[in-house]
Amino acid sequence: MAFPLPRGITPPEISFLAEMEMVTILPRQRLEGLELLGGPVEPLLPPRRASLPLWLALLLKRQRRANILPPTWLHPESLSLILEIETQHHEYQHAFSPPPPLPGQPSLRDRGQRPVAVPRYTPDGGRYYPAPPFLPQNVAQDHVPSGEPPSLPFHWLEVGTMLLDAASDDLVDPDQTRRLLKELREVRTAKIRSGVDVLDVASTGGGGVALTGVGAMEVGEGRGFIAGVVDGLRKIGASKEQARREQMAEDMANGGYDATQDDDDDMEF
C-alpha cells in the first residue's frame, strides 16, 4: 500500500503538470527576480509584460497583483477556427487537428520541409529535446504569422479551464470561450470513442495507434480504457502472434523475409 494511484498520471496530476506551462502576465506591482527550483523568474516591472509559470501567474492573479494575457489560441476566433477544422475539414474527420509544431519541426504552412530536432544537453551528457509543458505554447503573441492556422496546445483543456476559472475577467469573451471549449471537447471525445476499432493494431508487436494532436487530459481520460482494451486484445491474440513470429523465423531461415512487409498500417483516429 505504498502508493494507491494507478499506473499513468491521473487527472489531478495532469493539472499539476499543466500549471508548469508558461503564460504571459501584465504585472501590477514590482517584484524582484527570483531563483526558484523550477528555474529563474524574471523581475516584474509594470507595465512590462513577463512570462511566468501558470501556477505563479494564478497566485498573483488571485491576489490582484497581475493580469493574465490570454494565449492566442484561447481567443473565440481562434477556437471557432479550430472547431471548424475539427468538424468540417475532410482530412481531420477521424483525426485530431494538428498540434503546434515542436522546435525544429516545420509549421503547417511549409509542410514539405524535413524536421530537424535540435537537442540540448543534460549535465550527464544525455540529449534532451524540450516538449510541453516546457514550450511557450500558451504565451500571448502580438502578431500571428499570416496563413498560420491556430492550433490547440497539449494542455489546452486544463489551461483553458483554469484561466476561465481564475481569470475570466481577463479573457476576451469568457462565455463564448467556455461554450467553444465545451464543443471542442465533445467533438474530440467522440473521435476517441469512434477510434476504438483500430486499437487492435496496437496489440501486435511493433504496431501502434497514432493519436497525434491529442490533449493531455484526453490521454488521461482514455488511458485506462485504451490500455485495458489493448492489453486484453494482446492476451487474446498471444498465441496467434507467437505463431506469426515462428512463421517469420522460418521464413528468415529460408532467406526470403523482408521486414517491411510486416503489417504496420498506421491508422489514425
Partner 1 sequence: MDIDDILASVDRNDVSTPESAALDHQLLTRFWVAERGVSELLPWPEALMNRMMERVRKQIETIEDLAASSSDPTTTNNSNNNPTLNLKLSILQTDLSRTQYLLRSILRQRISKLTKNSMHYLLRVSSAASSQPSQQHPDSQNNSDQQPEDSIPDLTAVTDPSPLSSQELDFLRAHQTLLAGHFGASFLGSFPAQLRRLDDNAGGVSMVQGPDPREVVFVRCLVESVGVVVPPGDGVEVETVGTEMRMGDVWVVRWEGVRGAWERGEVEVL
Contact with partner 1 (CB under 8 A): which of 38, 89, 148, 189?
38
- The CB-of-207 to partner 1 minimum distance in angstroms stands at 6
The reply on whether position 104 binds partner 1 by CB under 8 A is yes
Is 152 among the residues that bind partner 1 (CB under 8 A)?
no
Contact 153, 100 (CB under 8 A): yes
Q: Does 205 contact partner 1 by CB under 8 A?
A: yes
- Residue from 45, 94, 129, 148 that binds partner 1 (CB under 8 A)? 129
Q: Does 95 bind partner 1 (CB under 8 A)?
A: no
- Among 33-41, 70-78, 84-92, 170-178, the segment contacting partner 1 (CB under 8 A): 33-41
Going from the C-alpha of 232 to that of each of 97, 99, 198, 202, 263, the distances in angstroms are 29, 30, 14, 11, 20
Nearest residue (CB) to partner 1, 109 versus 245:
245
Rounded Cα–Cα distance for residues 30 and 47 (Å): 9
Q: What is the rounded CA–CA span in Å between residue 17 and residue 241?
A: 37
* Helix 11-18, helix 216-236: angle, nearest 10: 140
Q: Decide if residue 92 touches partner 1 (CB under 8 A).
A: no
List strands edge to edge, sheet with 22-27.
50-53, 22-27, 66-69
Q: Is 112 in the site for partner 1 (CB under 8 A)?
A: no
Query: With binding defined as CB under 8 A, does residue 102 bind partner 1?
Result: yes
Amino acid at 235: K
Binding segment (CB under 8 A) for partner 1, from list 57-65, 85-93, 159-167, 168-176? 57-65
209 counts as binding partner 1 under rule CB under 8 A: yes
| CB of 164 closer than 8 Å to CB of 76 | no
164 is an interface residue for partner 1 by CB under 8 A: no
Q: Does 35 bind partner 1 (CB under 8 A)?
A: yes
Question: In this complex, which beta carbon is closest to partner 1, that of residue 164 or of residue 219?
Answer: 219
Q: Does 107 bind partner 1 (CB under 8 A)?
A: no
CA triple 42-43-44, angle to 5 deg: 115
How far does the chain reach from its first CA to its final CA, in angstroms?
37
Provide the 8-state DSSP code for 216.
H
